[in-house]
Structure 1
């Protein structure tokens, strides 16, 4: 193979390889983990945590000394004149004299250190409170996404089963039609029953097509929920009957405490208290130490390298700041956050009552769904037995087609009811887990 052939092979791989479909084998757990990992909104929420952590670091550094350097090159284009009275330095008459240098430049370092400031500690507490709130917001977002992925996964399994049942029904109706066609040609079946068997087959084919479309839509939705490419082929390794969510019933009080909404409201209530305290502390005096060291250049020229015209000075001090006019505004700000605290407390009480009802209602729905699943399972097993017996009778000519068809429809309905009951039970488990905050 010459070099040109090698280049063509390489180009072929370059063109076609990226377009190959990706295949993912996913259990329910895998689907949830994939979705949580791939979702861009959860990745964006991580940056909110980074910002909140930065706020904590910034609040901690408020205790550090503030050191700054400054430089001021001052050129006097016209000196300010000073009044000299008569008799000073032997002057007979008063006069105005311009005193100073053409170039007065100062370069220095300033240092300020907080000594007493109540709000610095409160700022750190508020920053930590915001971090906890962002964590709970992300936890709530994750739980909502987990719920949607689990529901979408179960919906695919349900639609897949319905599609397979529809295919089996179509095959059964096809077999009935072929048998009816044979009997009709032999004169053992009236034309109306023959035409009805043909119509049943056509209706079954239409139903299969509709169920297939629903299955494909459910797959598309699952791909969207876990954020994978539309061309990805998904192979679900779990089935409705094999999935065990291992849902344990928890006390109502524990479920309420687990809910992210309750934690968020509690954190917000504490945050409003801290902000009210912060507003009150704005009216307190603050105390800080300060110092300065500077080098000054005084001369009539711009040659800063003449060392004899440089001089240094320094000072230290303590600064006390007592707010006076700002007290009124601070009291209004404190009142605002106090009202918000009361408001959040009332919302917390109402949300607690709401979630208490949700947990109890979800537990009841879970128990009802479990009972319905057991009942439909028994009905399905019974309908299978009846159908098998009547199929033998039909093959022997001891049962008319319409009677067998009624049994066939009853079996199909029982099968659909059982599958739907299993699906509803799993959804009830998901609903209870969300209500009890045990995702």
Structure 2
């Protein structure tokens, strides 16, 4: 039994250690997976989804006004101070010209009734149904706008991490190459083929590069924190990225914008819906001039007695019933609807002006983002060539130094130029990736791929 117990205990410990490792294992995300995760877990998307549900509930609330309205009410009271009425005293044989207080109200009274009403015609109600449906469309578009904004933010944060990681890999390779060169130079000094100054210069360069790598490591950590924030992910959970920069498509051929439709931009589509709502608002105000017709019905009973026990006896209750049509015809409202209509027409006019202004803004964004991406790609190609030249110069400088025909200072300068070229290249690459996201957003294609 002890052996079995030990085996069972070891099995449990094994499972717990595996579970612990699984919990600490970083989650892997491609860009698409990161965006999908954000669209499910970001708090902003949850708020936008709730707003959509609120809009749907609002439609149900408006519809309910056209359904039968039924109410049941009951009341039993004690007239502990009965109300009195003055009657002429001569009715009771008293002198003329005098009045006597008389109580007509019994001590206990009660009433119970059920009432129902059904709206038969109301122009405002019919317009309200159409407006509610349009409002639901607006909330859906606002949800889509939030999704696009989150997609943009996650994409930019994801690219920031990728570029920083790629730059760290280059720094690591530079450190390794410089470390090898430093060790060789130290050995050359021991053999009398190099000076201590050469070793010191390389040491300073190596230390500076090591500090730069540490800064890059911290930048990657901060970039990952920003990415997890944009994704709605717990900051304590580790994360790893599966996409590679080499597979990211940034092509000059995709800069051209053809057959663009303003409705592709969610901001423009939202303004169109707001314009439709403004139009329905005018119709709703005008519908207030139409008559309203409703069917009303009531059924119940009343009771009055000086004994409370009479409340429980059905014979003491007097029934009543009523059914009828209610017609309300607006005649004059002090010109209220007239001024409401003026305001609504101005709001509609402003909505149309907003659409024109948005068209102009979109045109500017398209031209600007297209030009920015073109410039960024040209700069990227130039920096790529510069980096390749700097790498070749650093390689040749190292060979010359090792063969004794070059100086240590030449190597230091070459390494410094190489690091600067690498920094400029990755800065240009980052600018190109961000410009690509901006152009996708400007054309209304962001998040549709």
Could you say which TM-score interval applies, normalised by the shorter chain? 0.7 to 0.9
| Alpha-carbon spacing, 1:248–1:68, altered in 2? closer, same or farther (3 Å) | farther
> Are 1:217 and 2:218 matched, yes or no?
no
Where does residue 70 of structure 2 map in the other structure? 67
* 2-structure distance, mates of 1:400, 1:207: 25
> Are 1:285 and 2:291 matched, yes or no?
yes
Tell me the SS of whatever aligns to 2:235.
Answer: coil
Which runs of 5 or more residues in structure 1 are unaligned? 88-92
What does 1:4-403 correspond to in 2, within 5 Å?
17=20, 21-73=24-76, 78=82, 103-244=108-249, 251=257, 254-302=260-308, 303-324=310-331, 326-403=333-410
Offset at 1:318?
A: 1.8
Give the root-mean-square deviation of aligned CA atoms: 3.5
Does structure 1 conserve the Cα–Cα contact (< 8 Å) formed by 2:202 and 2:412? no
> Are 1:434 and 2:437 matched, yes or no?
no
Offset at 1:204?
A: 1.7
Offset at 1:354?
A: 0.6
Per-residue deviation, residues 182-227 of structure 1 (Å, max 9, x unmatched): 3333332344333322221222222222222212211221222212
| Alpha-carbon spacing, 1:108–1:165, altered in 2? closer, same or farther (3 Å) | same
* 2-structure distance, mates of 1:317, 1:84: 40
| Alpha-carbon spacing, 1:210–1:327, altered in 2? closer, same or farther (3 Å) | same
| Alpha-carbon spacing, 1:408–1:18, altered in 2? closer, same or farther (3 Å) | closer
Does structure 1 conserve the Cα–Cα contact (< 8 Å) formed by 2:250 and 2:432? no
* 2-structure distance, mates of 1:52, 1:182: 77
* 1-structure distance, mates of 2:256, 2:124: 42
* 2-structure distance, mates of 1:392, 1:313: 113
Offset at 1:98?
A: 6.1
Tell me the SS of whatever aligns to 1:267.
Answer: helix
Tell me the SS of whatever aligns to 1:238.
Answer: coil
Which runs of 5 or more residues in structure 2 are unaligned? none
**What's the TM-score, normalizing by structure 2?**
0.84
Offset at 1:20?
A: 5.2
| Alpha-carbon spacing, 1:250–1:278, altered in 2? closer, same or farther (3 Å) | farther
Tell me the SS of whatever aligns to 2:120.
Answer: strand
Tell me the SS of whatever aligns to 1:244.
Answer: coil
* 1-structure distance, mates of 2:330, 2:43: 47
* 1-structure distance, mates of 2:413, 2:356: 55
Does structure 1 conserve the Cα–Cα contact (< 8 Å) formed by 2:109 and 2:304? yes
| Alpha-carbon spacing, 1:194–1:75, altered in 2? closer, same or farther (3 Å) | closer
Higher alpha-carbon deviation: 243-252 or 261-270? 243-252
Offset at 1:107?
A: 1.8
* 2-structure distance, mates of 1:85, 1:202: 119
Does structure 2 conserve the Cα–Cα contact (< 8 Å) formed by 1:295 and 1:312? yes
**What's the TM-score, normalizing by structure 1?**
0.86
Tell me the SS of whatever aligns to 1:318.
Answer: strand
* 1-structure distance, mates of 2:134, 2:369: 32
